[in-house]
Amino acid sequence: MPDAASTRTLGLARGDASFAPEIRAMEATESLHDAIAFERVRALFANIPIGVIAEFLAIATIAGVMFGTVGRPRLVVWGGYMAACGIIRLALWMQARAPEGLQPRPERWERWYGVAMAAAGVGWGATVPAFLPIDNLLIEGIVALVICAIAVIAIDVLMASRRAAVWFITPALAIPALALAGYGGAVRLGTSLLLFAFLGVLFVVSGRRHKAYVGAIATPLQNAVLLREIEAANNSLREAQEDEQLVFDSALVGIAVFKDHRITRCNRKLEEIFGVRRGTLVGASTRLLYRHESEWREATARIDEALDATGQYDIEREFQRRDGIAIWCRARGQVIDPRNPSRGVIWMFEDLTEARRAAEAIRRQEEALADAHAEVQAANLRLTDAIGILPDAFALYNSDDRLVMCNQSFVDAVPGEHKMADLVGRTYEEIVRIAVESVATVPPEFRRDRPAWVAELMRRHKHLTGDDFVYQTGDRRWYQLRERRTSDGGVVAVRTDITDLKASEERIRHLAHHDPLTGLPNRRLLEDRMSQAFNLARRNGQHVGVMLVDLDRFKVINDTKGHRVGDVVLQEVARRLRTTIRQADTVARQGGDEFVVVLPELRRMSDASQVAAKILSALSRPIAVDGEKFQINASIGIALFPTDGGDPDSLLKQADMAMYKAKGAGRGRFEFATGVPRQDELRFE
């Protein structure tokens, strides 16, 4: 029997169709213990015909041996009783032969069968006192051997249920042993002792056989559970990769992953910068980005040395497009995992070609001014024309730190009514002080101390490091200030409005952590909020409530009215959930029509109950879409930290089980997970 059970349950782990009942049992109960119980009881009932047939053969054997030795009435009564016990077990087998017949509580069927086996055991045990005394000791011995044989067979047939086996063999062997001891005589007393000893052996054997059987079926069922969890994890990983790819491809800079000097991954922006077809760069050597072999080898050696030392690299240099045109890019590299450099380096490429061209134009104009004083005015005009087309604010200061040239964008950036001639000739500090007179040009953190903001700008201006300065002004706009020292000691400054770029980056970050339909936190941000709430609860000795809210009858709306109406309903549900909970609470979308509410700092169970009741009340009101009203409701499962689990996954699993309990109890209600204390006051264990 254990070998057969192992074969069957190994098939269950592979998902064979013949093991659908056990799989359905596991899905219905979400409990490995219940699945094992179902398989044990199923095997127990499957062996009923074999046990009854063996018992009928034993009854016939006893009747044949005893015929003519004892009176017929006693023999008929005993045989009728034993046959009735067998027929009762066959009746149980007929009722439970369908796989669904053992649901939902297989242990109850096991108890009924154990009672039937106990009755049969009493019948077999009553054989000796019912027919004794018998003058022929050989016949008494045969009867005892038949009973022992039946007990041995029962150990095999009933190995799936220790309870049924013990309930059968105890009366079957203990009653005749006591009867033989009571009648006296050396032989009968010896037989009584042997029966008691044999009963003890069967107790041990039945326990070991049952334990081996349970072990044979538990391992494959555990494998089946692990396979389901692995599949769910793979699905989550695939969704996360798709979200990551969306953010990756939406970036406004070129992004790539280099490994062993090969491009293993890149976004479309990088392909556009280097002028290649989609998918061409992936798998290619980084040599493709450089003009010459020697240039590539020199650059890779310098980059590898820097990455080994600091884990990052930042440079502006000339690269080559696929069509041979030289381009300037700012390349910033960062080792993905310093503990595991084999994972590669992530690079960001910013195309600076146009900015470099403008800067090159400025440099050429400066050289022209130095070459011939006679061409100063003409050179200034050309330079003014060149910077005038730039959308960014441009300014050139001489070695005395006075403004010698700027474009109209720079003039417009200075608050107040100014002309270019009013600003040219002023020092950098004077222009800064004019600018900070307007609150809109001062960052919020310096609004109460404007001199400190002037001092910060002067410090950066005088001690240029080559780094760009990014800041936000009081009107909530973002700027990037680039200042570079010129060859004659002056400073060229370019201020770029990067508000739109910052907004795009913020939208990308928001999409990475929020549900695009409802704007609620997604699973990634939810787990972070839950971990923070758990850490705070541990420090303060408090509890955290986790609610899983599942909409009832939402699928009907989606199927009959379409996904557009369903999306509007989900957005309204999200709005109602946000307005129902506290500001410190978190509501997130789990996926589909499931939402999760996190309640930190709980002191009483009634607090969670009140919130759940408010949510059910809010969601019970009809939702109007396109002039039509839809009535939905929700089922809520509530789990408590740390009572029901110590991490987000276990709490969500417990809340999910409680939610299904609420659905099974009639929907439109809430249920707590197991392990919730009975008293209203919660205690932190």
Q: Residue 105 — very low, low, confident or very high, per pLDDT cuts 50/70/90?
A: low
CA distance 261 to 593: 46
> Which pLDDT value is given to residue 549?
93
User: Is the pLDDT higher at 405 or at 131?
Assistant: 405
How far is 379 from 461, CA to CA, in rounded Å? 26
Least confident stretch, 200-209, 224-233, 245-254, 675-684: 675-684
Report the distance separating Cα 434 and Cα 412, nearest Å: 13
Q: Which two tokens stand for residue 127?
A: 């054989």
Residues 524/529/535/540 CA torsion (nearest 10 deg)? -170
At 443 the pLDDT is 83
pLDDT at 29: 42
Residue bearing the bigger pLDDT, 389 or 597: 597
Most trustworthy range by pLDDT among 25-39, 100-114, 137-151, 624-638: 624-638
What is the pairing mode between strands 345-351 and 254-259?
antiparallel
Summarize the confidence of residues 6-11 as an average pLDDT.
38
pLDDT at position 454:
84
If pLDDT is split at 50, 70 and 90, which confidence band does 99 have? low
To the nearest 5 percent, what fractions of the chain are helix, strand and coil?
Answer: 60, 15, 20
Mean pLDDT value of segment 638-660: 90
Residue 627 in this model has a pLDDT that exceeds 80: yes
Q: Cα angle vertex 40, ends 52, 23, to 5°?
A: 130
pLDDT of 639 > 90? The answer is: yes
Output the CA angle 211-213-218, nearest 5 degrees: 90
Average pLDDT (365-389) is 70
Question: Tell me: the pLDDT tens digits for 211-252?
Answer: 777 777 767 766 776 777 788 777 877 776 666 667 666 777
Q: Whole-angstrom Cα distance, residue 357 to residue 353?
A: 6
- pLDDT value of residue 506: 67
The answer on pLDDT for 26 being more than 50 is no
Residues 6 or more apart whose CB falls under 8 angstroms from that of 343 comprise: 259, 336, 337
Residue 419, pLDDT above cutoff 70: yes
The pLDDT, as a whole number, for residue 178 is 83
19 versus 87: which is more confidently predicted? Answer: 87
With beta carbons less than 8 A apart as the criterion, state whether 143 and 172 touch.
Answer: no
For range 511-538, the mean pLDDT: 84
Q: pTM of the entire structure?
A: 0.36
Cα distance between residue 363 and residue 235, in whole Å: 56
How is residue 621 written in tokens?
Answer: 């009101």
Question: DSSP of 242-276, one letter per residue?
Answer: HHHHHHHHH-SSEEEEEETTEEEEE-HHHHHHTT-
Tell me the pLDDT tens digit for each residue of 269-294: 888 888 888 888 888 898 888 888 88
Report d(CA 659, CA 634) in Å as an integer.
Answer: 9
Cβ atoms of 601 and 540 within 8 Å: the answer is: yes
Angle at 483 between CA 480 and CA 489, to 5 degrees: 175
517-529 in b/e burial notation, b at 16+ Cβ within 10 A? Answer: ebebbbbebbbeb
Contact predicate 399/489, CB 8 Å? yes
Range among 30-44, 135-149, 403-417 with highest mean pLDDT value: 403-417
Whose CA is closest to 640, among 548, 544, 549, 550? 544
Is 90 exceeded by the pLDDT of residue 638?
yes
How far is residue 654's CA from residue 649's CA, in Å, rounded to a whole number? 9
* C-alpha span between 156 and 309 (Å, rounded): 69
Do the beta carbons of residue 103 and residue 29 sit within 8 Å? no
Give the mean pLDDT of the chain. Answer: 79
pLDDT at residue number 393: 84
In the structure, what pLDDT confidence band is assigned to residue 10 with cuts at 50, 70 and 90?
very low
d(CA 60, CA 45): 23
Q: Using alpha carbons only, what angle is made at residue 366 by residues 360 and 370, rounded to the nearest 5 degrees?
A: 145
| Confidence check: pLDDT of 102 > 70 | no
Q: How many C-beta atoms lie closer than 10 Å to residue 62's C-beta?
A: 23
Mean pLDDT in residue range 163-185: 79
Q: How far is CA 409 from the centre of its chain?
A: 50
How large a percentage of the chain has pLDDT more than 70?
A: 81
Percent share of the chain, pLDDT over 90? 8
